[in-house]
Structure 1
Amino acid sequence: MEYSLMLQVTVALPSGKRKCLTVPQSATVRDLKLLAQTTFCRGVLRLVSAAGQVLRNLEEPLQTAGVQEGDCLTAVAPPANIAATRKVSMYTNEGGFALWCCGGDHLISWGSADVQVEDVFEDVQKTQATCVSFAALLSDKSVVAWGCIRDGGDSSEVEDELTDVQHIQATISAFAAIRSDGSVITWGSPFEGGDSSQVQSQLKNVQHIQATQTDFAAILSDGSVVTWGNPYHGGDSSEVQSRLRNVQHTQATSGAFAAILSEGLVVTWGDSDCGGDSSEVQSRLKNVQHIQATEHALAAILSDGSVVTWGNPYHGGDSSEVQSRLRNVQHIQATFGAFAAILSDGSVVTWGNPYHGGDSSEVQSRLRNVQHIQATFSAFAAILSDGSVVTWGNPYRGGDSSDVQNRLRNVQHIQATFSAFAAILSDGSVVTWGGF
């Protein structure tokens, strides 16, 4: 009796389009994936078995993965993602982007020469960035870092510990990784949070980490907080430690933290010039739902849709001129020195330093049906419901998109560096503008 050495399966797209594909019985998941991508003319596809399981191990033989003759698999195009480095100097245009698809085989970086990636990484899930370095979380929960060695681009000293990683956070020069057991691994500049040795014994059952430019704050499962890094910019929370109970969320400026407690109250610490002192508005900080931050000020959205601000008045800490318009606020985005609030009707209210996007008067009539806002150091970009984009703020930092405006159609997502934007369109292409 002869046995066929080929395996025939059907691969279908969510749209209903399907093709019958034939591969050797010895073929791997990667072989079928590449064939499907070529057949459907798609850049990246993720295969889902007839049993509904995502075929993540690209080197696994199809038969070992449970794929049988005549099976119908689904091929899903994962969304593209962009991560960006952040430059803190206002005198540099340098920055870098990293583009990848969840489930894809390739990660592409461009921009600053310091962040060019030399290797191909398997199945990148997430990336995080310091000022000039990237860290990528892979599907096997390991981490790969590259870029400037002194700013977190070299994780070799802790490579063996970077297993079962669930999340990565970054300051300007260091990374902190949360593992599945709730422990934390740090690397990078010891002066910016790369050395957590003094609090390592406390870093257990960590649920979330927030970062200023130089410090980390970890929320534990019991709602308490552990901080480390520069003691003058939020790394020392000893003065408010007794109040840091039942913490639900933290936000950060360049040098201070704000924690939202379970009852909707707020606790702040760190540099008072950066929002670390909220005493003047403390009585109004009740029923807080969310907090956003510029470099030196904070804005809290309350449960009734109103907003409370504090910190440096020249960086958004004073919203008195627009307070009457801050009603039914759904979301707030921030540049270095200005805020932009999306209201429930899709309109936008801005305040803060006009040179950083705090004045949107020139485009106000176009800011309708806004779905999302992204920000560089001193400019905003708003995605409207029709997929078009409106920009304002410093023209040299992305506030002027006139050169690419005719290409900004069907925009799905926007990411930003210090001075430039990158928009992902529905067809997977990327449009960039601003000062690189």
Structure 2
Amino acid sequence: MSISVDVHLLSGKCAAVEVEADASVESLKIRAQSALAVPNECRLLNSSGEVLDGAQTVTEVELRSGDVLTLHVNQVQLKANRQGGYFAAFSALLGDGSVVTWGSPGVGGDSSAVQEQLRDVQQIQASQAAFAAILRDGSVVAWGDAEYGGDSRAVQEELRDVQQIQACSRAFAAILHDGSAVTWGDARSGGDSRAVQDQLRDVQQIQASDQAFAAILGDGSVVTWGDATFGGDSIAVQDQLRDVQHIQASGQAFAAILGDGSVVTWGCADYGGDSSALQDQLRDVQQIQASHDAFAAILGDGSVVTWGNALYGGDSRALQDQLRDVQQIQFSDGAFAAILGDGFVVTWGRAAFGGDSSAVQEQLRHVQRFQNSARAFAAILGDGSVVTWGNATFGGDSSAVQEQLRDVQQIQASYVAFAAILGDGSVVTWGCADYGGDSSAVQEQLRDVQQIQASDRAFAAILRDGSVVTWGDVRSGGDSSAVQEQLRDAIGLAMFVISFPILWWNERRATGQRAAHPSSAAAGGYATCFPREPNTP
């Protein structure tokens, strides 16, 4: 005997599924996943919201023909565009392929105009003030500020079989299955690639500076386009760009690691586009890290070579004897910090941006990892405690919450604040109160937190039960109450923050391999030094 049940997704999509009465709930779930084209981990819930045990039979859980079930998909991806001013938006990709957005409408927080198209979404990328989603069929849907790539209609017919999307501040570049590339957005910033279109064949990876793109082709050569002052013109070094393995970008320059471990740079010299003065030192380069204004290369012997704007970390000569056995480099807007093999830390660059850690140097022992806001650093030690330094307003002073910072598991940062998850799932915040440094209004809700992500001036926490708690500036996505019902069962969140270009570079963890664009949180602009705002309501 068989029964037929209706299985719904949160997006509203549904399917009638027929199953034998003695079949397992697990087999019913598998059939529902197939009927609804849901590949991700998920759970079946009955009409009362109870999770059905996959090991039991349909009869044992008392299902009958006509029953309505819900298929809850566990995987959610969340992105935030961080345009450097007060306005930012979040975009949540639910496991069933639908999308939920909130934050400032003008920069992508309102996707209602394309909501019906946002089905079977596979991944989302963000520019400074817009989003672009790849659908299962390889097409693309864009929304947000048109001047920042939020309108892809001019190239819609070309956007077929898209494999991945890269973004700079004001434009997008899509790699198609055949290895060609399609671009849109601000023409000067790389949204118009027609001048090099014939060269864009067999594209393997695209990297972005603030307003330019660089593509590595299958033969190891490189094609660039966009604003020349941001690295969009590599003609001066074109003959050297052979056997390129990886490209890293600062705000206005690129650095390519070749197969032999040497480095080729181009773009604005003040931002690291000219490494000629130390070319002889750039040998056996394993990875390159980049801030907005400078580069830092880790060599095979664990030493470091830096170049670019000296004031912002491009000159580490005074500390060269200390930079040995370097394992990891992190950076703020104007400084670098390196973890050595023995767990000690060396910092350089502007003191006001965290380049001087002398006040806490004795505490910086057994450092495991660290996070940064725009002008401060926070290090997690081996015992789970935290040490902070840099600009106090930006979270460089955690003394007010120091006693609470015990058994810290991870730290996330907005532009001016930090949020730490403790071993018991609670959260401690510090930094600028208005922009996420004060979570007291939602503290009682912050229990069993699994993960935290940030926009410029707001945080979003995913709880064990799948709910989402947000706090910080409303204009940056600090209030998700309007979409709270849609943001259920968000456990398994994977957030990849695309920040304003000044801090995009914080997201680029160079590995020596051909890496994708930014994948973790950092920060955006500041009220006293904003670039021109995109169109906002």
**Shorter-normalised TM range:** 0.7 to 0.9
User: 1:238 Cα deviation (Å)?
Assistant: 0.6
Do the aligned partners of residues 23 and 150 (structure 1) sit closer, same or farther apart at CA in structure 2, a change above 3 Å counting?
A: closer
Matches within 5 A, 1:129-148: 129-148=126-145
Mapped pair 1:108 → 2:100: yes
Do the aligned partners of residues 376 and 138 (structure 1) sit closer, same or farther apart at CA in structure 2, a change above 3 Å counting?
A: farther
Of 160, 163, 167, which residue of structure 1 is paired with 2:164?
167
Between the aligned partners of 1:299 and 1:228, the Cα distance in structure 2 is: 24
Does the 8 A contact of 2:29 with 2:43 survive in 1? no
| 1:95 corresponds to | 88
Do the aligned partners of residues 419 and 154 (structure 1) sit closer, same or farther apart at CA in structure 2, a change above 3 Å counting?
A: same
Do the aligned partners of residues 431 and 251 (structure 1) sit closer, same or farther apart at CA in structure 2, a change above 3 Å counting?
A: farther
Cα deviation 1:17-62 (Å, max 9, x = unaligned): xxx8689999933799999343599999xx9xxxxxxxxxxxxxxx
Mapped pair 1:200 → 2:197: yes
Mapped pair 1:29 → 2:36: yes
Q: Which amino acid is the alignment partner of residue 81 of structure 1?
A: Q
Does the 8 A contact of 2:312 with 2:334 survive in 1? yes
Cα deviation 1:92-118 (Å, max 9, x = unaligned): 3322232334x3334333333321122
Between the aligned partners of 2:49 and 2:385, the Cα distance in structure 1 is: 24
Secondary structure in 2 matching 1:235: coil
| 1:398 corresponds to | 416
Does the 8 A contact of 2:2 with 2:19 survive in 1? no
User: 1:327 Cα deviation (Å)?
Assistant: 3.1
Do the aligned partners of residues 189 and 324 (structure 1) sit closer, same or farther apart at CA in structure 2, a change above 3 Å counting?
A: same
Mapped pair 1:266 → 2:263: yes
Q: TM-score, normalised by structure 1?
A: 0.77
Q: Which amino acid is the alignment partner of residue 109 of structure 1?
A: T
Percent of aligned pairs sharing the same letter:
50
Between the aligned partners of 2:277 and 2:204, the Cα distance in structure 1 is: 31
Do the aligned partners of residues 33 and 129 (structure 1) sit closer, same or farther apart at CA in structure 2, a change above 3 Å counting?
A: closer
Q: Quick check: 118-127 or 310-319, which moved more?
A: 118-127
Matches within 5 A, 1:269-288: 269-288=266-285
Does the 8 A contact of 1:95 with 1:111 survive in 2? yes
Between the aligned partners of 2:188 and 2:194, the Cα distance in structure 1 is: 12
Between the aligned partners of 1:222 and 1:27, the Cα distance in structure 2 is: 39
Higher relative contact order (CA 8 A, sep 6+): 2
Secondary structure in 1 matching 2:154: helix
Between the aligned partners of 2:265 and 2:33, the Cα distance in structure 1 is: 60
Between the aligned partners of 2:290 and 2:211, the Cα distance in structure 1 is: 15
Between the aligned partners of 2:47 and 2:301, the Cα distance in structure 1 is: 48
User: 1:424 Cα deviation (Å)?
Assistant: 4.8
Which 5+ residue runs of structure 2 have no aligned equivalent? 5-17, 55-70, 395-414, 419-428, 431-437, 477-537
| 1:58 corresponds to | none
Between the aligned partners of 2:229 and 2:354, the Cα distance in structure 1 is: 28
Q: Which amino acid is the alignment partner of residue 156 of structure 1?
A: R
Between the aligned partners of 1:183 and 1:43, the Cα distance in structure 2 is: 48
Between the aligned partners of 1:413 and 1:422, the Cα distance in structure 2 is: 8
User: 1:211 Cα deviation (Å)?
Assistant: 0.8
Do the aligned partners of residues 300 and 147 (structure 1) sit closer, same or farther apart at CA in structure 2, a change above 3 Å counting?
A: same
Matches within 5 A, 1:311-390: 311-344=308-341, 348-360=345-357, 365=363, 368=366, 370-371=368-369, 373=371, 375-380=372-377
Aligned Cα RMSD in Å?
4.0
User: 1:296 Cα deviation (Å)?
Assistant: 1.0
Cα deviation 1:307-366 (Å, max 9, x = unaligned): 211100121112234434433333323332222334445554433223334345667637
Q: Which amino acid is the alignment partner of residue 101 of structure 2?
A: S
User: 1:196 Cα deviation (Å)?
Assistant: 0.2
Of 215, 220, 233, which residue of structure 1 is paired with 2:217?
220
| 1:62 corresponds to | none
Between the aligned partners of 1:362 and 1:38, the Cα distance in structure 2 is: 54
Between the aligned partners of 1:334 and 1:234, the Cα distance in structure 2 is: 21
| 1:301 corresponds to | 298
Do the aligned partners of residues 321 and 84 (structure 1) sit closer, same or farther apart at CA in structure 2, a change above 3 Å counting?
A: farther
Do the aligned partners of residues 127 and 35 (structure 1) sit closer, same or farther apart at CA in structure 2, a change above 3 Å counting?
A: closer
How many residues are aligned here?
395
Q: TM-score, normalised by structure 2?
A: 0.63
Matches within 5 A, 1:6-45: 6-8=18-20, 9-11=23-25, 28-29=35-36, 36-38=43-45
Do the aligned partners of residues 293 and 427 (structure 1) sit closer, same or farther apart at CA in structure 2, a change above 3 Å counting?
A: farther
Does the 8 A contact of 1:232 with 1:270 survive in 2? yes
Between the aligned partners of 1:161 and 1:419, the Cα distance in structure 2 is: 36
| 2:181 corresponds to | 184
User: 1:276 Cα deviation (Å)?
Assistant: 0.4
Do the aligned partners of residues 192 and 22 (structure 1) sit closer, same or farther apart at CA in structure 2, a change above 3 Å counting?
A: closer
Do the aligned partners of residues 40 and 378 (structure 1) sit closer, same or farther apart at CA in structure 2, a change above 3 Å counting?
A: farther
Between the aligned partners of 1:32 and 1:250, the Cα distance in structure 2 is: 33
User: 1:171 Cα deviation (Å)?
Assistant: 1.3
